[in-house]
Amino acid sequence: MKYLSSTVASLLLACMAPAALAAAGAAQCPPPTSKKPVTSTFFGVKVTEDYRWLENWADPAVRAWSEAQTACAAKFLDALPYRAEIQGRLADLLGGASPSYFDLREVHGVLFAMKRQPPKQQPLLVTLKSLDDPAAKSVVDPNAIDPRGITAIDWYVPSPDAKLVAVSLSMGGSEDGTVHVYDAATGKELYEPITRVNEGTAGGGLAWNKDGSGFYYTRYPRGKERPPQDLNFYQEVYFHKLGTPTEKDAYAVGKGWSRIAETTLKSSEDGRYLLATVANGDGGQFAFYLLGPSGGWKQVAAFADKITAAEFGPHDTLYLLSLKGAPMGQVLSLSCAEPVLAQAKVVVPESKAAVVESFTPVGERLFVNEMVGGPSTIRVYNLEGKTLGEVAAPPVSAVGEMLAVGGDLCFRDQSYVTPPTWYRYAPATGKLTETALRETSPADFSDTEVIRTDAVSKDGTRVPLTILMRKGTRLNGQNPTLLTGYGGFGIAMTPRFSPLTRLWIEQGGVWAEASMRGGGEFGEAWHQAGMLTKKQNVFDDFAACAEALIARKYTSSRKLAIEGGSNGGLLMGAELTQHPSLFKAVVSFVGIYDMLRVELSPNGSFNVTEFGTVKNEADFKALYAYSPYYRVKDGTAYPACLFLTGANDPRVDPMQSRKMVARLQAANAAKTPILLRTSSRSGHGIDLSLTQRIGQETDVYAFLFHALGMTYQPLPGAKN
C-alpha cells in the first residue's frame, strides 16, 4: 500500500511496461475494451454481461488493459489545473501534523502504543513512559525494516510480563500477516516468524499463555491441507511454544467452525482465561469460546444468542454485549468459572435512546460508551449495574478507544473540528484531565460550523445528515459540495477529524455526511433495515440526503460530488446508476459493483451474511435489482467518475472496478471522463503510506476541483 513517488500517477507510470505506456499515448484513451458476452441463468432469469474476461488477472491482456487504463487516467489527472497547489497543501496538512497515538495497551505496568509520526511513512510500535510524558521508545519500526514504506504493522500483542511482543507484519496492502516476536526492551527479533496468521479475508489474532512461554494464534490452512480455493478460509486456533518449529504447533480449537469464521483472541489480565471470538462472516453474528485453567474449551455463546462483544473484568467475570431482545444493546455479566449463558445477569439494561457501542471494566467500575446517532457519551456503573453518572467528554465527539491505565480510565476522543486527544478519568475522584497525548494539526477549523440535521427518505425514515462549512457561507445553491457515506455492516458514522475536510472547506466547499440505514447509529434494527434484501433503503437514504442539500440551497446538482469506499463504493455505484443526473462527479474507492459475482471472490464469501447470496432466490432478486454493474444503461449521460483500486486488495477484488469502468465507458453518452486508477503497491487502502495518501488525495481533489469548476485560492501567507 505504499510507494516512494510524490504522486500515485508518477509511480504507476514509472512501473508500467513500455507497451502499456505506448498504448496510453496512443490516440484512443481510454483504450478500447473488447466485448465477450457470457450468459448466466439464476432462477430462470438470464443475465448477460460483456466484461467477465476482465476478472482474470492472470491473463496478460487483462493486465495490459489495466495498465493502459491507469496510464490514461494519470495522463488526464496530471494535466489538471491547480494540481501542484493541491498537492502542496495536502503535504502541509497531512505531513505537518504532530505525532499521534492509537491502539494503546498497558501490560504489566508498561504502556505500548502505535505512533503515527510524519514524515515517517508508516506507524511504528513504541513504549511510553506515561500518558503525561509522550517520550516514546521505538520497539518495532516498519520504516526501518522496509525503507520502501510498503511494510505495515497489522496488530501487536505484548506478553504478560511485557518483555516480549508479537507483531503481525504485512506488505503492499496485502494484509497477509506473518507474526514476528521481538524483545520489547531492545527491539531485537527473536525466534522464527510464523506465516499465515493474518489475512485480508478473516483477519487474525493472537493471545499469550499465562507464563509467556508461547501463544495461541489464528492459523490458515497451509500447503495441501485444503484445496487452493479454500486456503483463505477455515481459520483455526493453534498453540505455538517459543523456540520450537511451527510445524510442531498444536491444534487447539476451530475444527467444525464455519468456513467463513473470523477469529480474534484475547487473554484475561492474569492470563488464566483465554477467549476466542468467532464471527460468521461480516453480517454481525458471533460465537464465543472460553479456555480456562482446566484446559478445556467451552462454548459461551452461539450465533443465535446475539452476543456481539465480550470483555474480561475483575473477579473472574466475563462481561457480554447482548442484542437478544435488546437491539440497542445491554451488558451482561457471567462467571468465567461457570460460563453458562442462561445464568448471565443483566448489569446495564437496554436504553431506548442510546446504543451501547463498547464497554470497559476498570477496577470496580464499568464504563459504557453509548452513542446516539454518532456522537458518544461515557456512562459509569458499578459492577452490579448501579448508575454512577457520566464522564464529561467533549460534546458532539466520538470515543474511539477506552482502556484501563494505572487504575484510571483512559480514552481517545475526537470531533469533526478537534484532533484526537487522550483523556484520563480517575474513578476515585471523578476528575477528568487531558493527557500529553494530544494531536495537533495544521488544519484549523475555528472558522467552521457543524450542523446536525436530517433528511426524509423515500419511505418517510428520517436520516441523520451532518454538514460542515465556513461560518457565514451563503445558501445560494452554488456551493461546491462533497457528500459521503457508508451504510453497512453495522458501522456507524461517528465524528472524526480529517485534514482533508479542511482543504475542501477552506476552498469554499461544503462537506456533508449521511448516516444511512445499514449502519449502527441507532442499533441493530437500524443495521438490519439496510442489509440483505433491504439494501435498497441505504441508497434511498443517501439520495434523500443529496436532494435535501439541493432543496435547502447548500448546492445544486451541477455542484454536487459524492465519495465513498468499499461498501461505500457500492453506494457510489448504486447512486450514479440510479440517479445519474443528481451528481456532477463521483469518486469511488475499492468498490463492489457486480453483486452477482462478488461472493465468488475469497472475501466476498464473508460478505454473504451482510449482502445475501445468488443461491437464494429472494436475495438474488434484491442483488440483481440494485447491482450497479447491471444497472448501467447504454446511451445515458453519466457524471464524471474516478474509480480507485489497489492491485493487492484482499477484501474487494480489483476486477470489480475494472468491469464497472469498462461498462460505463461503453455506455456513457456524455463527454465526462470515466477513469480507472489502479495502484500496484496497495490493497484496500488501510495501510497507505504517507506518500501514497498524499498522492492519492491529490488525484482525487484535483479531479473534484476540475469536475465542479472550482478554482484554487491561495491562503494568506501560504507558500502555495
Catalytic residue among 180, 240, 527, 684: 684
Catalytic residue among 174, 258, 566, 689: 566
Phi then psi dihedrals of residue 190, to 5 deg: -120, 150
Rounded distance between C-alpha atoms, residue 633 and residue 592, angstroms: 18
Rounded distance between C-alpha atoms, residue 13 and residue 77, angstroms: 12
Within 519-580, strands assigned E span 560-565
Rounded distance between C-alpha atoms, residue 677 and residue 596, angstroms: 24
- Adjacent-strand bridge partners of 675: 642
- Angle, CA 593 vertex, CA 577 and CA 226 arms, to 5°: 170
684 has catalytic annotation: yes
Rounded distance between C-alpha atoms, residue 249 and residue 445, angstroms: 53
Using DSSP, how many helices (H) and how many strands (E) does the chain show? Answer: 15, 38
Rounded distance between C-alpha atoms, residue 235 and residue 196, angstroms: 10
Rounded distance between C-alpha atoms, residue 286 and residue 144, angstroms: 38
551's CB contacts (< 8 A; 6+ apart) are: none
Edge to edge, what strands does the sheet with 345-348 contain?
Answer: 307-313, 317-322, 330-335, 345-348
Identify the burial level of 497 via C-beta atoms within 10 angstroms of its C-beta, where 0-12 means exposed, 13-18 middle and 19 or more buried.
Answer: buried
Phi then psi dihedrals of residue 407, to 5 deg: 85, -5
- Angle, CA 175 vertex, CA 246 and CA 517 arms, to 5°: 130
Identify the burial level of 659 via C-beta atoms within 10 angstroms of its C-beta, where 0-12 means exposed, 13-18 middle and 19 or more buried.
Answer: buried
Rounded distance between C-alpha atoms, residue 569 and residue 588, angstroms: 5
Edge to edge, what strands does the sheet with 189-198 contain?
Answer: 151-158, 164-171, 177-183, 189-198
Cβ-contact 320, 301 below 8 angstroms: yes
Residue 30: cis peptide before it, omega within 30 degrees of 0: yes
566 has catalytic annotation: yes
HEC letters along 330-399: EEEEEECCCCCHHHCEEEECCCCCCEEEEEEEECCEEEEEEECCCCEEEEEEECCCCEEEEECCCCCEEE
Rounded distance between C-alpha atoms, residue 477 and residue 475, angstroms: 6
Nearest to 354 by CA among 492, 457, 539: 492
Torsion-angle region of 144 (φ positive above 0: left; ψ -120 to 50: alpha; else: beta): alpha
Identify the burial level of 707 via C-beta atoms within 10 angstroms of its C-beta, where 0-12 means exposed, 13-18 middle and 19 or more buried.
Answer: buried
| Amino acid letter for position 234 | Y
Nearest to 683 by CA among 334, 328, 175: 175
H-run or E-run covering 171: strand 164-171
Residues annotated as part of the active site: 566, 684
